[in-house]
Chains A and B, each alone.
Chain A
Amino acid sequence: MEFKDSQAIYLQIADYICEQVLLNKWQPEERIPSVRELAVQLEVNPNTVMRTCELLQQQEIIYNKRGIGYFISNDAVKKIRQFKKDSFITNELPSLFRSMYLLEIDIDELKPYYEKFKKSNFK
């Protein structure tokens, strides 16, 4: 996994885990790799992964079964979508809107691009 320079590592790991869930690679009620396994795989300090798990647990995306490990919550997908949507609207939309405004692009004008993108990437 390539880390970016912009965001704390534990948040980037949280994004990685959420992405695995949204892509259906990790299913609800499935056990995720242990803190140590993730730390080794991502070459980071286990305390950093621990921090990620605490965050995701607090957001009820994963839950802890004592002595067994962390599991994906039943409604994880719904929860992740909500969090991601909020963050997309506050963090990413403004710069997109700014470019659209400067280039005088109308929202309707983007629709065919979006449809094309969906077709070529996710079908």
Chain B
Amino acid sequence: MINIQSLKFSYRQNRPLFEDLSLHLEAGHIYGLLGKNGAGKSTLLKQIAGLLFPDGGSCEVMGYKASRRQPAFLREIFLVPEEFYLPKVSIRHYVIANAPFYPRFDEQAFYSYLKEFAIPQNQQLTNMSYGQKKKVIISFALATNTKVLIMDEPTNGLDIPSKSQFRKVMAAAVTDDKCMVISTHQVRDLDNLIDSIVIIDDHKIIFNQDVGTVTDKLSFKMLAQLDDRMPVLYADSSLRGHAVILKNEGTEQSKIDMELLFNAILSNRQPIQELFN
């Protein structure tokens, strides 16, 4: 559904952000895009949405070149940006002005998402708090029913109960024909929602695996003591003990710890990548 080949991009000359970046994403999944600050997560999402253009290579989404910004492409993709602007109108007017761009917009679903998020419906958008505005955009995004839905840090600014509401509406919205990409730093908010992990670092994609494959190959454990004979790939030690990633040598499936996996891949990439090749 999303096919990026040898993408090259830089904001400034001699400071390349992406060099030979390739990524292939399919429908029916919720991808979690992880990376350090400044690694280029938001830039990559903007490339997919056709808001930034490649310096080299190609970015194809649903068979369209994203940079050509054809209407048939734009009406099937929605990006929830991290920073956004909403006009000084009511929710109803926002829908009247923006929904017609999305042929499969579901108004009923939109209002039910707002209800789930407990957003009052007859308020001016500009009179809302940041978190409330974010919930309006997320609700609108889900209601557009676009084939590609991209969210940049969607849980930033959401309070504790709405993180749970967010997971519920996302679980309800993903279908076999939709591809969702979420960039996030707060993986613990979303770790049961994401089914594939994409890690961007060092100008390219260094990891792209679904959760099932990860737990087939790796096991995540909390150990009281480390033992030299164990196939430890990464360990993070604290007072609670040692959080470790081991090579999974049996058939047992542990629960994935995405933070640990992220740190492991950034600091000890090669042996882990080899396991997946």
Contact = CB atoms under 8 A, between A and B. Distances in A.
B86 interface: no
Contacts of A4: 255
Contacts of B194: 45
B221 to A, nearest CB: 8
Interface stretch (B122-130, B140-148, B163-171): B163-171
Given A8-B215, A43-B168, A48 B255 contact: no
A6 B215 CA distance: 12
Given A44-B193, A47-B28, A47-B29, A39 B255 contact: no
Most buried by A among B28, B29, B168, B222: B168
A48 B212 CA distance: 9
A9 interface: yes
Contacts of B211: 48
B253 interface: yes
A45 B193 contact: yes
A47 B253 contact: no
Interface residues of A, number: 22
Contacts of A7: 253-255
A52 to B, nearest CB: 12
Nearest to B28: A47
A43 B211 CA distance: 16
A40 B171 contact: yes
Contacts, number: 58
B174 A46 contact: yes
Given A36-B171, A39-B171, A45-B30, A6 B193 contact: no
Interface residues of B, number: 22
A77 B30 CA distance: 34
Contact of A11 (B164, B167, B193, B253): B253
A2 to B, nearest CB: 12
A3 interface: yes
B160 interface: no
B251 to A, nearest CB: 11
Contact of A36 (B172, B212, B215, B254): B172
A51 B171 CA distance: 15
B195 interface: yes
A109 interface: no
A10 to B, nearest CB: 8
Contact of A44 (B192, B254, B256): B192
A47 B167 CA distance: 14
A41 B164 CA distance: 10
A11 B192 CA distance: 13
B254 A43 contact: no
Contacts of B172: 36, 39-40
Contacts of B222: 5-6
Interface string B138-182: 000000000000000000000000001001100110100000000
Given A5-B222, A51-B212, A45 B255 contact: no
B115 to A, nearest CB: 15
A8 B220 CA distance: 10
Given A11-B253, A45-B30, A47-B29, A3 B192 contact: yes
Contacts of A11: 253
Interface string A26-60: 00000000001001111111111001000000000
A5 B171 contact: no
A46 B192 contact: no
B272 to A, nearest CB: 18
Given A11-B253, A45-B194, 15 more contacts: A3-B192, A3-B255, A6-B255, A8-B253, A9-B192, A39-B172, A42-B171, A44-B167, A45-B30, A45-B195, A46-B171, A46-B174, A48-B195, A48-B211, A51-B212
